[in-house]
Structure 1
Amino acid sequence: MSTTADLVTALKKELKSAQMTYADLAAGLKMAESSVKRMFAKGDMPLSRIDAICRVLKLDFADLARRVADAQPLLRELTHEQERAVVADKKLLLVAISVLSQWTLEQITSTYRLSEAECVKYLAQLDRIGIIELRPLNRYRLKLAKTFRWRPHGPVMEFFREEVVLDYFRGGFDGEGEGLLLVHGSISRSLAPAFLERIQRVAQDFAQQHQTDQKLAEKDREGYTLLLGMRSWEFEALTALRR
């Protein structure tokens, strides 16, 4: 939810973009220029006034609010409480994983045994948790940074360690485009961060390729999970929810 101060800051940017002075705005609002300047200097005004300024700018309030939301800093990590809410319901976790992969509501409901109403309910929960901003027509915007990761010892990673890891490694990693490497060795402590950085770059490259390939037809894409090893894989508890 946007604060009034955020909306006022956005209005200042819109005034500058429209090359409109405080005097121009005052004339449009039928107010004294000094009153308009004082109003913006305080950075606080009622929503009715913000709405009036939007009309002068010929700007829809919903568009202003959306621009404010888009400008908010993205989350690199959730709180312990937010993660605990995600893993408390397996179906909510399924939808959370799906939105992290930028799946649409239609893709989720056609793949898993979730009704549209259920899926919308879970999207609304993810909106309240702070993972997405739910938009009209059940579209959404992820509020997570590209560097987002689950808390190393948080509820989500604990769930995956207890419920998912063995399921993942049970595979043979011998399918097309799959592989599992286990390499042990002793290296300089000073070099370890450099190798970690390489691993992080591979993960980022993989994530970026996922975004790029969303324009391809579904028949030309395959689901993979990258975890130092990579294979085409889906957690069996989620498979059980498929249609």
Structure 2
Amino acid sequence: MSTTADLIVALKKELKASQITYAALAEGLGMAESSVKRMLARGDMPLSRIDAICQTLKLDFAELARRVADTQPLLKELTPEQERAVVADKKLLLVAICVLSQWTPEQMTSEYRLTEAECVKYLVQLDRIGIIDLRPMNRYRLKLSKAFRWQPNGPVMHYFREHVVLDYYGGDFDGRAETLLLLQGSVGKGIAPSLVERMQRLAHDFARQHHSDQKLPEDKRESYTLLLAMRRWEFSVFAEMRR
């Protein structure tokens, strides 16, 4: 959500772009120029005053808020509290995964047993959590970066380990463009971090390709789940047999 300070910074930019001087603004607000300068310099004013300045600029307040939202840095991960809110409701988690894939509300309701009212309700919740910026006509802007990931030991990954891992690996991985590789080996201590970095680049490539291909017709796209992992680990049954 936009803070008052963010809104005032955006207002200053709009005033400059519109070539409206502080003197002209003061006249429009019925205030002294010095008071206007002081008010804008403090970076704090009531929303009613911000709305009055918007009217002078002939700018809708909602549009100003959207412009501020567009300039906010995208999140690379959520807080534990945000993740707990997401996994607290299975349907909310479903909608969260859908928005990560940039699905429209129409796609969600056509693919899953979600009513339009339910879909809107969950989009509103995701807006409150901070994952999306919900806009008119139930369109939204994703507030997560392309490098976004769930916290490794957070609530979502805990849910994944408990409910999803066996379901995912229960498949045969023998379909078109499917594969499952299991490799074990010893590598130099200085090499392992570079292998992880390469895996992260592959994940980023997958995410970029996903976003790029959203412009393709639905019948030209297929859903895939890429799971990458590497850790220092030995099967416990084998470890028990070590000397």
TM-score of the two chains, using structure 2 as the length reference: 0.89
Q: Which residue number in structure 1 is paired with residue 7 of structure 2?
A: 7
Q: Which residue number in structure 1 is paired with residue 95 of structure 2?
A: 95
Specify the code of the residue in structure 1 equivalent to 2:26: A
Specify the code of the residue in structure 2 equivalent to 1:150: W
Specify the code of the residue in structure 1 equivalent to 2:220: D
> Do 2:4 and 2:45's aligned partners in 1 also have CA atoms closer than 8 Å?
yes
Alignment of 1:17-36 (within 5 A): 17-36=17-36
How many residues were matched structurally? 229
State how far apart, in whole Å, the 2-side matches of 1:17 and 1:205 are.
38
Alignment of 1:1-243 (within 5 A): 1-228=1-228
Specify the code of the residue in structure 1 equivalent to 2:8: V
Deviation at 1:25, TM superposition (A): 2.1
> Do 2:146 and 2:208's aligned partners in 1 also have CA atoms closer than 8 Å?
no
Specify the code of the residue in structure 1 equivalent to 2:207: A
User: Secondary structure at the residue paired with 1:133?
Assistant: strand
> Do 1:86 and 1:92's aligned partners in 2 also have CA atoms closer than 8 Å?
yes
> Which residues of structure 2 form unaligned runs of 5+?
230-243
Higher deviation after alignment, 52-61 or 100-109: 52-61
State how far apart, in whole Å, the 2-side matches of 1:57 and 1:124 are.
29
Higher deviation after alignment, 185-194 or 105-114: 185-194
> Do 1:25 and 1:56's aligned partners in 2 also have CA atoms closer than 8 Å?
yes
Higher deviation after alignment, 193-202 or 22-31: 22-31
> Do 1:180 and 1:228's aligned partners in 2 also have CA atoms closer than 8 Å?
no
State how far apart, in whole Å, the 2-side matches of 1:57 and 1:125 are.
32
Specify the code of the residue in structure 2 equivalent to 1:157: M
> Which residues of structure 1 form unaligned runs of 5+?
230-243
Deviations 1:30-76 (A, max 9, x none): 43221211111111112222112112222111110111112222222
Query: What fraction of aligned residue pairs are identical, expressed as a percent?
Result: 75
> Do 2:92 and 2:122's aligned partners in 1 also have CA atoms closer than 8 Å?
yes
Q: Which has the higher contact order (CA 8 A, sep 6+)?
A: 1
Deviation at 1:21, TM superposition (A): 2.5
> Do 1:181 and 1:228's aligned partners in 2 also have CA atoms closer than 8 Å?
no
Deviations 1:120-146 (A, max 9, x none): 111111112111121111111111122
User: Secondary structure at the residue paired with 2:141?
Assistant: strand
User: Secondary structure at the residue paired with 1:114?
Assistant: coil
Deviation at 1:214, TM superposition (A): 0.9
TM-score of the two chains, using structure 1 as the length reference: 0.89
User: Secondary structure at the residue paired with 1:141?
Assistant: strand
State how far apart, in whole Å, the 2-side matches of 1:57 and 1:109 are.
39
Deviation at 1:83, TM superposition (A): 1.2
> Do 1:10 and 1:68's aligned partners in 2 also have CA atoms closer than 8 Å?
yes
Deviation at 1:221, TM superposition (A): 0.5
> Do 1:76 and 1:148's aligned partners in 2 also have CA atoms closer than 8 Å?
yes
Structure 1 residue runs of 4+, over 3 Å off? none
